[in-house]
Amino acid sequence: MNPRLEVRGVTKRFPGVLANDQVNFAVMPGEIHALLGENGAGKSTLVKMIYGVLHPDSGDIQWNGEPVVIAEPSTARRLGIGMVFQHFSLFEAMTVNENIALGMDKPGDMASLALRVRKISADYGLPLDPDRGVYSLSVGERQRIEITRCLLQDPKLLIMDEPTSVLTPQEVERLFETLRQIASEGCSILYISHKLAEIKALCDRATILRSGAVVAECDPGSETAASMAQIMIGEELTSVERRAGDTAGEARMVVEGLELASDDLHGVDLQGIDFTVRASEIFGIAGVAGNGQGELLQALSGERLIARPESIKVDGQVAGHLSAGARRGHGVCAIPEERNGHGAVAALNLVENVVLSAHHRMNLLTSGFIRRAEAKAFTEAVVAQYDVRTPGVATPAGSLSGGNLQKFIVGREIMQNPAVLVASQPTWGVDAGAAARIHQALIDLAAAGTAVVVISQDLDELMAISNRLAVLNLGVLSKPIDTARVSVEEIGLLMGGVHGEAETQEPADAA
Amino acid sequence: MRLKIEPRLEPSAALLYGTPVLAIALTVLSGFFLFALMGYEPLTALYFFFVAPLLTLFGLSEIMLKAAPLILIAVGLAMGFKANVWNIGAEGQLTCGAIAGGGIALWLWGDEGIWILPLICAAGILGGLLYAAIPAFLKTRFEVNEILTSLMLSYVATLMLSALVFGPWKDPMGFNFPQSRMFTEAAILPIVLEGTRLHAGAVVALLIAVAVWVLMSFTIVGFQLRVVGLAPAAARFAGFDRKKLIWLSLLASGGLAGLAGTFEVVGPIGQLVPVISPGYGFTAIIVAFLGRLHPLGIIAAGFLMALSYIGGENAQVEVGLPQAVTGVFQGLLLFFLLASDFLASYRIRRMP
């Protein structure tokens, strides 16, 4: 039998980088094939070539045994290749049906499309109401739109790019059932991820990429997560050391009755948030993104000022009225979720990016003038200590890979020796090696007496590093729970919250 | 085969700094054909336009005289442009500065004292600054687009100046011409180069441009302006106050435009007249971009733009070119600059 898709000797070069080097792999009909690799290993480049967004410099792609040139995504769709991107391309103000029609080459009339959407989505366990506005849907439901859009075109190969990074554990399980069903009907699935447990649970075969080249092909079922990780990163994975016996000290950050209206039309308002973080403690805030996480970071870091300043106290002092800059003076440092454009300015070099957030605490100014030598020395220290791979400190932040830029930002904030550190999604989109390093750095920081708040939707992460955690759902924070005494499933149920309720409610007319 | 425009992976550094040169070359080249089409000897016309003014001390001093207000205004505008604050109304702020500075000169008419000129300059700065405070207030308080408010206020300022020189400030001995009395000597900028019109204000303008360069490149204030323009969310993260920076950049550009207007009326003009600027406030926008929003680049761009003014006048006298040619040249220059800028960040690829 011919493979559904075969990639032979594909090479793609960008200025200064060899993104794909002589890549070979094949996906059989009905197979769920994993493409595994760290960030920057070349997975995205490879699938973009398969989907016609990029074009290989050399090598060829075969479809059912025939060589094909995939000039554009529409060519790929005509062949029967569908792709669900990590970042959805949906218009929030439009309905599900309108969004699906927009992404199709030949949508036909809207009424019959709506019928097909209902049928297909119900058949595959992805219930969707075509008439609902996208803004009212959870992330999981939005992903269903993208999947349904692909399924409507009767695909022979479905590419899923990091599909679970935004889902609750229950939603992940549900997605896997759907994917298994799709595969059982003969459609091949190319599944891109760096989450090893998922690949073990779902995939038939795995191709592992490192630095743009295929380093191994394996059967995930017969490998352990550790062995795959080792192949993937090419070095022994250092496991995170957690402190035994937590000896949290006095309260460093006290939040009481914090309220903040979202400045985003579809954002979530924070309502009556209470929590206390003590010295030497990592406090986790779990929850699916879009439940007020962004607003919470803004309120804690001082990016937006709250109405009642006494809602936030740092080391016993009222801090809610202080701007982000003044709050840093009091020792509150933050790591925002978005690296480019929020935590760092892509067009500025690393030294300038150090000046951005460290000039308050690291004494980088003399009467308004930037002390370049000191800023450069601090930057070099961050780069050296946090293993930031960069040609130099004069390199623009935007040219660093995601993981390296994140290590830089984390290092920049931690090395300012904060009293309180608030980190949002500190390892989002970061490879396993860098993630382990960042986790270790946060644990070491807490051990030295800092109160650390980690906002994350990665439960495994919070279970691994935090002492206590609470779930933020629709702007309300649950009671904190001790991570040593709670299961992932229990937290998953809390995280699902109202979204979970919406899912158990099948649309009445879907049957 | 068809052509496709696609973004470059990273902007080409060579093109980024090469585009001003490329734009100038293309402008000269189009000028060549333009003159030929209009029936002039192209090389002669170009010679009188671009070369002859550079060959005499008088020509050079006139270029510097014209360049000074352009540079002064453009460095102020560039501070705002860097921060995504678009003050398009420098012409109005220039006019208000001239009214304030000229008003002091008329008020102290006939008085002596070295304190008079500094007072006039301070009043000029204040006049432009206060006029720019209107769009700043509207922007920070009500999020009103400063492009519209500052531009529309320009026309208001011109009318205010007219109202004054046609009315209360008209020279009583001036045969009913719409102009004020000639200012007395204590209110006139000293000439720095004997036998020319080059005044001390031109030197001050260059010093201020260098000071703005220091501010933008070496201080936290300049850094904040750049960050706010490049990444507003990162500026918020760092705790930079966006409203304060909007105020700062509008007041600074307004104040510098006001000073430029004052230098004109207490310099080469010597009195208040209905029209005190041949559009310096608008031309300075071209100068700011031609100079890549960098104060030192703006100094070079200011001289180039001044050359186009002086060269245009020279060509009118020597070859009989129409006055509109100067405007056409400035338009061509901006057009080519923007067009070649586009190529620095995009490339055109042939599709099979």
pLDDT in tens, A429-442: 777 778 888 999 99
Contact (CB<8Å) B233/A341: yes
Which pLDDT belongs to residue A174? Answer: 86
Distance CA B117, CA B201 (A): 11
The alpha carbon dihedral of A92, A95, A96, A102 has a sign of negative
Does residue A175 surpass a pLDDT of 60? yes
- The amino acid at A158: L
Which pLDDT belongs to residue A88? Answer: 79
B336 part of a folded domain: no
Confidence band of B250 (pLDDT split at 50, 70, 90): very high
Which pLDDT belongs to residue A473? Answer: 82
> Strands across the sheet with A317-318, in order?
A270-278, A251-260, A312-314, A317-318
Contact (CB<8Å) A324/B223: no
pLDDT in tens, B180-214: 999 998 889 999 988 899 999 999 999 999 999 99
Does residue B271 surpass a pLDDT of 60? yes
Three-state secondary structure call for residue A496: helix
Contact (CB<8Å) B219/A360: no
Confidence band of A238 (pLDDT split at 50, 70, 90): low
Which pLDDT belongs to residue A507? Answer: 39
Distance CA A450, CA A208 (A): 38
Query: What is the mean predicted confidence (pLDDT) over A356-382?
Result: 93
- CB-based contact (8 Å) between A336 and chain B? yes
Distance CA B50, CA B45 (A): 9
Q: Hey, which of A184-193, A483-492, B314-323 has the most confident mean pLDDT?
A: A184-193
Distance CA A507, CA A181 (A): 21
Radius of gyration of chain B (CA): 21
Beta bridge partners of A193: A36
Query: What is the mean predicted confidence (pLDDT) over A279-291?
Result: 85
Percent of chain B scoring above 90 in pLDDT: 65
User: Which residues of chain B approach chain A closer than 8 Å at the C-beta?
Assistant: 9-10, 218-221, 223, 226-227, 230-231, 233-234, 236-241
Which among B216, B218, B224, B237 is the top mutation candidate for probing chain A, defined by the most A β-carbons within 10 Å of its own β-carbon?
A: B237
Residue numbers of A between 395 and 434 with CB closer than 8 Å to B: 399
Nearest chain B residue to A298 by CA distance is B237
Which pLDDT belongs to residue A266? Answer: 64
Distance CA A353, CA A211 (A): 27
Token look-up 């990590």 returns: A86
* Torsion angle, alpha carbons of B332, B333, B335, B337, to 10: 160
A417 close to A447: Cβ distance less than 8 angstroms: no
Does residue A505 surpass a pLDDT of 50? no
Least-confidence region, from A252-261, A332-341, B327-336: B327-336
Which pLDDT belongs to residue A139? Answer: 76
Query: What is the mean predicted confidence (pLDDT) over A161-180?
Result: 83
> Which tokens in the block code for residue A301?
């870091």
Nearest chain B residue to A336 by CA distance is B237
- Which residue of B9, B233, B234 is in closest CB contact with A14? B9
- The amino acid at B152: M
Confidence band of A299 (pLDDT split at 50, 70, 90): very high
Measure CA A478 to chain center. 23
Query: What is the mean predicted confidence (pLDDT) over B292-318?
Result: 90
Give B118: exposed, middle or buried? Use CB within 10 Å, 0-12, 13-18, 19+: exposed
Does residue A318 surpass a pLDDT of 80? yes
Measure CA B326 to chain center. 16
Does residue A60 surpass a pLDDT of 70? yes
The better pLDDT of the pair A362, B252 is held by: B252
pLDDT in tens, A126-162: 888 888 888 888 777 888 898 888 888 889 999 998 8
Does residue A357 surpass a pLDDT of 80? yes
Residue-by-residue DSSP string for A227-242: HHHHHHHSSPPPPPPP
Which pLDDT belongs to residue A503? Answer: 37
Does residue A303 surpass a pLDDT of 60? yes
Contact (CB<8Å) A345/B227: yes
- CB-based contact (8 Å) between A303 and chain B? yes
Nearest chain B residue to A323 by CA distance is B239
Which pLDDT belongs to residue A372? Answer: 93
Which pLDDT belongs to residue A502? Answer: 34
Contact (CB<8Å) B10/A15: yes
- CB-based contact (8 Å) between A237 and chain B? no
A325 close to A361: Cβ distance less than 8 angstroms: no
Beta bridge partners of A255: A275, A312
> Which tokens in the block code for residue B264?
């004109």
Give B142: exposed, middle or buried? Use CB within 10 Å, 0-12, 13-18, 19+: exposed
3-state SS, A418-429, equals: CCEEEEECCCCC
Radius of gyration of chain A (CA): 24
- Which residue of B10, B230, B237 is in closest CB contact with A357? B237
The better pLDDT of the pair B315, B349 is held by: B315
Confidence band of B312 (pLDDT split at 50, 70, 90): confident
CA distance B144 to chain A (A): 18
The total domain count for chain B is 1
Token look-up 């004292």 returns: B113
Confidence band of B215 (pLDDT split at 50, 70, 90): very high
A461 close to A483: Cβ distance less than 8 angstroms: no
Range of the domain at B128: 41-320
**Considering only CB atoms, which chain B residues are within 8 Å of A357?**
237-238
How far is CA A57 from each of CA A9, A10, A45, B137, rounded to the nearest angstrom? 10, 7, 12, 55
Nearest chain B residue to A365 by CA distance is B220
Contact (CB<8Å) A341/B231: yes
CATH number at residue B120: 1.10.3470
How far is CA B59 from each of CA A34, B62, B278, B314, rounded to the nearest angstrom? 73, 5, 18, 9
Nearest chain B residue to A324 by CA distance is B239
**Considering only CB atoms, which chain B residues are within 8 Å of A360?**
239
Does residue A55 surpass a pLDDT of 50? yes
> Which tokens in the block code for residue A357?
């957030």
Query: What is the mean predicted confidence (pLDDT) over B81-86?
Result: 95
Q: For chain B, give the mean pLDDT.
A: 91
**Considering only CB atoms, which chain A residues are within 8 Å of B240?**
325
Distance CA A460, CA A328 (A): 30
Which pLDDT belongs to residue A103? Answer: 79
Contact (CB<8Å) A357/B233: no
Three-state secondary structure call for residue A35: strand
- Which residue of A326, A344, A369 is in closest CB contact with B219? A369
- Which residue of A326, A345, A360 is in closest CB contact with B231? A345
Does residue A48 surpass a pLDDT of 50? yes
Which pLDDT belongs to residue B130? Answer: 97
Asked whether the domain spanning A251-502 has the same topology as the one spanning A5-233, the reply is: yes
- Sequence-distant (6+) residues with CB within 8 A of B28 are B46, B50
Which pLDDT belongs to residue A85? Answer: 82
**Considering only CB atoms, which chain B residues are within 8 Å of A328?**
239
CA distance A470 to chain B (A): 25
CA distance A328 to chain B (A): 9
Distance CA B266, CA A491 (A): 75
Nearest chain A residue to B241 by CA distance is A323
- Which residue of A325, A365, A368 is in closest CB contact with B238? A325
Backbone angles phi, psi at B124, to 5 degrees: -60, -45
The answer regarding whether domain A5-233 maps to CATH 3.40.50.300 reads yes
Nearest to A459 by CA among A270, A271, A195, A278: A195
- Sequence-distant (6+) residues with CB within 8 A of B334 are B286, B289, B290
Q: For chain A, give the mean pLDDT.
A: 85
Nearest to A25 by CA among A189, A221, A195, A214: A214
Residue-by-residue DSSP string for A263-287: SSTT---EEEEEEEEETTEEEEEE-
Which pLDDT belongs to residue A45? Answer: 86
**Considering only CB atoms, which chain B residues are within 8 Å of A323?**
239, 241
Query: What is the mean predicted confidence (pLDDT) over A166-192?
Result: 88
Contact (CB<8Å) B237/A334: yes
**Considering only CB atoms, which chain A residues are within 8 Å of B241?**
323
Under 8 Å CB pairs connecting chains A and B tally to: 68
Does residue A345 surpass a pLDDT of 80? yes
- CB-based contact (8 Å) between A394 and chain B? no
CA distance A128 to chain B (A): 35
Residue numbers of A between 347 and 386 with CB closer than 8 Å to B: 347-348, 352, 355-357, 359-360, 365, 368-370
- CB-based contact (8 Å) between A162 and chain B? no
Contact (CB<8Å) B238/A357: yes
- Which residue of B10, B221, B236 is in closest CB contact with A303? B236
Nearest to A35 by CA among A226, A196, A172, A256: A196
Q: Where are the domains positioned within chain A?
A: 5-233, 251-502
**Considering only CB atoms, which chain A residues are within 8 Å of B223?**
352, 355, 370
CA distance A322 to chain B (A): 10
Which pLDDT belongs to residue A199? Answer: 87
Query: What is the mean predicted confidence (pLDDT) over B236-245?
Result: 93
Percent of chain A scoring above 90 in pLDDT: 41
Query: What is the mean predicted confidence (pLDDT) over B226-231?
Result: 94
Which pLDDT belongs to residue B253? Answer: 97
- Which residue of A345, A365, A370 is in closest CB contact with B234? A345
Does residue A14 surpass a pLDDT of 50? yes
Confidence band of B79 (pLDDT split at 50, 70, 90): very high
Least-confidence region, from A294-303, A377-386, A391-400, B2-11: B2-11
- Which residue of B218, B226, B231 is in closest CB contact with A369? B218
Domain topology for A251-502: Rossmann fold (3.40.50)
Distance CA B12, CA A152 (A): 42
- Sequence-distant (6+) residues with CB within 8 A of A357 are A328, A333, A412, A413, A416, B237, B238
Which pLDDT belongs to residue A509? Answer: 41
**Considering only CB atoms, which chain B residues are within 8 Å of A399?**
10
The alpha carbon dihedral of A304, A305, A307, A312 has a sign of positive
**Considering only CB atoms, which chain B residues are within 8 Å of A352?**
223
Confidence band of B55 (pLDDT split at 50, 70, 90): very high
Half-sphere exposure of B286 (CA within 13 A, CB side): 23
